[in-house]
Amino acid sequence: MRHGLPDAESRNHPFFVHLFSLKSRNTRLQRGCLRGVQGPLLFGPFHAPSRGIMAKLKLAVIVGSNRRDSINRKLAQALVKLGANAFDASFVQIDDLPMFNPDLEPQRPEPTLRLKREIEAADAILIVTPEHNRSIPAVLKNAIDWASRPYGQNSWANKTVAVTGTSSGAVGTAVSQQQLRMILTNLVGVVVGGQVFITFKDGLIDAEHNITNEGTRAFLQGFLDQFAEIATKLAA
């Protein structure tokens, strides 16, 4: 599979990975590292620096689905496993939050306080979201709104956030991710570049949270490595 515009060969694979800018970003990052920006570290295609003895980044993972058998949760679990070298990850629960209502703000329900605590404690945040009617699911927007309040106490501020998602549709959550980026731009420190749209097919992720296709696994490893590299710089 090529990591670019899908071609006939990649269409025959059990899924597409749509990647328009990550390859060139990786190349730029590798060049930067070879110039010594990152010091004496090992590189290869889609491989960012080894984190060596550095502490792992504390990663908060938010899945934009409250469905029991969510394919986005499966993808998130696979990404957590793939990124275990760089990230110490924990999942943020969002399906027990009440519907946001400013009237509740003076006495915020405990789940909304927990949400803010968990986001604020993280070095970086990964959002893995489905697409609902060409937008983000209501459960995710609800969580974003709760964590952005009260006014002046936005928990997203200065956070480094990466987004991805999967659906069975051909464009694999591209539209919802664009909308999510637009929302986050107003709230967070940095939304990491690169676009990772995954069309989900049975067998893409096994029961042990492994990504079964070598090409996709390598690609997603590059995505996570790049995310870790940027988040590390910004957390310093």
Ligand X SMILES: Cc1cc2nc3c(=O)[nH]c(=O)nc-3n(C[C@H](O)[C@H](O)[C@H](O)COP(=O)(O)O)c2cc1C
The answer to whether 202 contacts ligand X (rule: CB under 6 A) is no
Minimal distance in Å, beta carbon 132 to ligand X?
Answer: 4
Contacting residue, 110, 133, 207, 208, with ligand X by CB under 6 A: 133
Interface positions, 156-175, toward ligand X (CB under 6 A) = 167, 169
CB of 79 to ligand X, least distance (A): 13
Helix (H) / strand (E) element for 128: namely: strand 124-128
Minimum distance of ligand X from residue 138's CB (angstroms): 9
Residue 38 or 70 with smaller CB distance to ligand X:
70
User: Shortest approach of ligand X to residue 215 CB, angstroms?
Assistant: 22
How many angstroms separate the CA atoms of 189 and 159, rounded? Answer: 5
Amino acid code (one letter) for 195: Q
Among 131, 141, 147, 177, the residue binding ligand X under the rule CB under 6 A is: 131
State yes or no: residue 189 binds ligand X (CB under 6 A).
Answer: no
- In a 13 Å sphere around the CA of 203, the CA atoms on its Cβ side amount to 5
CA distance 182 to 94: 20
Residue 49 or 64 with smaller CB distance to ligand X:
64
Asked if 233 is part of the footprint of ligand X (rule: CB under 6 A), the reply reads no
User: Are the C-beta atoms of residues 222 and 47 closer than 8 Å to each other?
Assistant: yes
Q: Which of residues 74-113 bind ligand X (CB under 6 A)?
A: none
Which of 38, 70, 93, 179 touches ligand X (CB under 6 A)?
70
Residue 234's Cβ-count burial label (10 Å; 0-12, 13-18, 19+) is middle
Assess 179 for contact with ligand X (CB under 6 A): no
Verify cis geometry, omega within 30 degrees of 0, for the bond prior to 6.
no
Asked if 71 interacts with ligand X (CB under 6 A), we say: yes
Task: Work out how close the CB of 67 gets to ligand X at its nearest, in angstroms, rounded to a whole number.
Answer: 4
Contact set for ligand X, span 5-64 (CB under 6 A): none
Q: How far apart are CA 198 and CA 18, in angstroms?
A: 7
195 binds ligand X (CB under 6 A): no
C-alpha separations of 166 from 32, 113, 142, 207 in Å = 31, 29, 20, 17
- Tokens representing 235? 């957390």
- Judged on CB neighbours under 10 Å (0-12, 13-18, 19+), 36 is exposed
Residues that bind ligand X (CB under 6 A): 65, 67, 70-72, 130-134, 167, 169
